[in-house]
Amino acid sequence: MTETKKIMGYLPDETPSFGKLLLFALQQIVVMFPATVLVALLTGFHVSTTIFASGLATLCFILITKKKIPLYYGSSFSYITAIVSITIPNQNGFPAPDHLISAAQFGIILSGLISIGVGLLVRKISMEKIEKVLPATVTGPIALIIGLSLAGSALGNIVNVGQTVQATVENFQLAQNLSWIIGLVTLLATVFFSVYLKKGTWSQIPILLGLLLGYVVALIIDYFSGINFVDFTLGGSDSFFSIPHFTLPRPSWEATLAIMPIAIATIPESTAHLYQLDIYVNKLAEEKQSKKKYKIADRLGMNLIGDGLGDIISGAIGGPAGTNYGENISTMAITKNYSIGVLIAASIITMVLAFVNPLSAAVYSIPEAVIGGLSVYLFGVIGAQGITIMVDKKVNLFDSRNLSIIATILIIGLGGSIIGNIPFFGIELPPIATAAIFGILLNLIYVFTDHLKGKYCKKA
């Protein structure tokens, strides 16, 4: 047997057999689902509509990028503050009035046009010029803070049992201890499955296996403790089949001013994700001794156009703005599975899921502690990929300029995430986007001063 055959994993243009395809697609849905649903709950959008929009936007993204970029589109956290300022949801879990959702949709669609416009501009610019604006000293730390800023969310899923299982004062400590058991079993099982399963289909689904083991442990604990970590009543209804609540956009200048500018702030995040993919996909191609070079980073323009199209599609039917998901990229990196076919299957299943209530209820029943256990690993991998970008691009960490960019991005991004948002002259700035913009501007100052020095030195 040759070494090539021993390497497990799928490159973007490789497709597993049908049975494996469904398993791998389900795994991608599992890691996407919690964050996408959470955005809908926080912003007052309809959950079933958000799920459907996620699948449809992903499918359209893959088609518009000609099946060259393996990314999954999900609801973006960067837009939450801006959208909430329009929808003003009264309570988590209850949708906002249709006329407010429709107004927010208008802003989301226009933000998509911004992404498309920037994407068309980027396609006219060489990668050398793009990397001057978005070097690894910017994209690496951005990827790092995306992962680390979600650390509180991951642990919160485990410890906040008062909200997740309606624990009372009397059994709160017991519920929290049991929640830790479920979370740790899920985390360690997923880690060990990904490290020690090296052959066959099992090596490709460590996250799904970890989830299933955590789920079984939760069911056992439910039976003996009487605390309902698994709740089959969430997200379901009396009917088997129901149509998502679609709404049409309504012109609103207020929504335009609040939501549209966020598109610019999400570009560095999307770029960081693309650079991560480029590194990992080509590493797998090298391991499999493939002669093909996957020039994913060179398709930044098409990636932004696809992102913008995703926002327009989602906004047109009543879904929130989105982006390509770090959780799904982490899953692909862990499993070495970058198959476009898997992502297409995941997007189609997601759309079906939005219509079938028992399927939705099954996904909703996954305990928060299980999600937390998975998230500790997934969010950590996102951060680690930021380090990989800087290592791969040989960033000099002894250079004072590089250090100044990296340091400010990290502290602004992480500090802002800890306090929620960054209060700045009467407005609330999203932390990751603000950190990214600050880092880009600081880098451009250095580029501009170097240009001036070169110009005057030539004259001298």
Mean pLDDT along residues 217-225: 91
250-303, pLDDT tens digit by residue?
A: 998 888 877 887 787 677 778 888 888 898 899 999 888 888 888 898 898 999
Whole-angstrom distance, CA of residue 454 vs CA of residue 285: 40
Residue 4, pLDDT score = 44
| Pair 331, 28: CB distance under 8 Å | yes
> Is the Cβ–Cβ distance between 314 and 53 less than 8 Å?
yes
State residue 236's pLDDT score: 57
> What is the pLDDT averaged over residues 5-17?
84
- Tokens coding 452: 């001036």
- Bridge partners (DSSP) listed for residue 428: 423
Mean pLDDT in residue range 223-241: 76
Helix (H), strand (E), coil (C) string for the chain: CCHHHHCCCECCCCCCCHHHHHHHHHHHHHHHHHHHHHHHHHHCCCHHHHHHHHHHHHHHHHHHCCCCCCCCEEECHHHHHHHHHHHCCCCCCCCCCHHHHHHHHHHHHHHHHHHHHHHHHHHCCCHHHHHHHCCHHHHHHHHHHHHHCCHHHHHHHHHCHHHHCCCCCCCHHHHHHHHHHHHHHHHHHHHHHHHHCCCCHHHHCHHHHHHHHHHHHHHHHHHHHCCCCCCCCCCCCCCCECCCCCCCCCCCHHHHHHHCCHHHHHHHHHHHHHHHHHHHHHHHHHHCCCCCCCCCHHHHHHHHHHHHHHHHHHHHHCCCCEEECHHHHHHHHHHCECCHHHHHHHHHHHHHHCCEHHHHHHHHCCCHHHHHHHHHHHHHHHHHHHHHHHHHCCCCCCCHHHHHHHHHHHHHHHHHHHHCCEEECCEEECHHHHHHHHHHHHHHHHHHHHHHHHHHHHHC
Q: In the structure, what pLDDT confidence band is assigned to residue 175 with cuts at 50, 70 and 90?
A: confident
Check: CB of residue 312 under 8 Å from CB of residue 113.
Answer: yes
pLDDT tens-digit readout, 31-56: 888 778 778 877 888 888 999 999 99
451 contacts: CB under 8 Å, gap ≥ 6: none
* CB of 211 closer than 8 Å to CB of 186: yes
The tens digit of pLDDT for each residue in 382-415 reads: 788 788 889 888 899 999 999 999 999 999 989 9
- The torsion angle over the Cα atoms of residues 301, 307, 312 and 315, rounded to 10 degrees, is -160
Most confident range, picked from 81-85, 196-200, 373-377:
373-377
Burial class (CB in 10 A: 0-12, 13-18, 19+), 182: buried
Could you report the per-residue pLDDT of 81-115, keeping only the tens digit for each? 678 778 876 554 568 899 999 999 999 999 999 89
**Is residue 326 within 8 Å of 146, Cβ to Cβ?**
yes
Least confident of 40-54, 197-211, 274-288, 347-361: 197-211
d(CA 29, CA 327): 10
Band of pLDDT at residue 5, cut at 50, 70 and 90: low
Cα–Cα separations (whole angstroms), residue 411 to 81, 376, 439:
20, 21, 11
Percentage above 90 pLDDT, the chain? 33
Phi, psi of 26 (to 5 degrees): -60, -40
Distances (CA, A) of 445 to 128, 318, 454: 17, 40, 14
Closest CA to 293 of 72, 52, 13, 2: 13
Give the pLDDT of residue 438.
92
The predicted structure's pLDDT at residue 379: 82
Mean pLDDT computed over 299-325:
91
Q: Which of 4-18, 240-254, 300-314 has the lowest average pLDDT?
A: 4-18
| Extents of the domains making up the chain | 8-459
The rounded mean pLDDT for the chain is: 85
Q: Inform me whether the pLDDT recorded for 158 exceeds 80.
A: yes
Q: Name the pLDDT band for 147 (thresholds 50, 70, 90).
A: confident
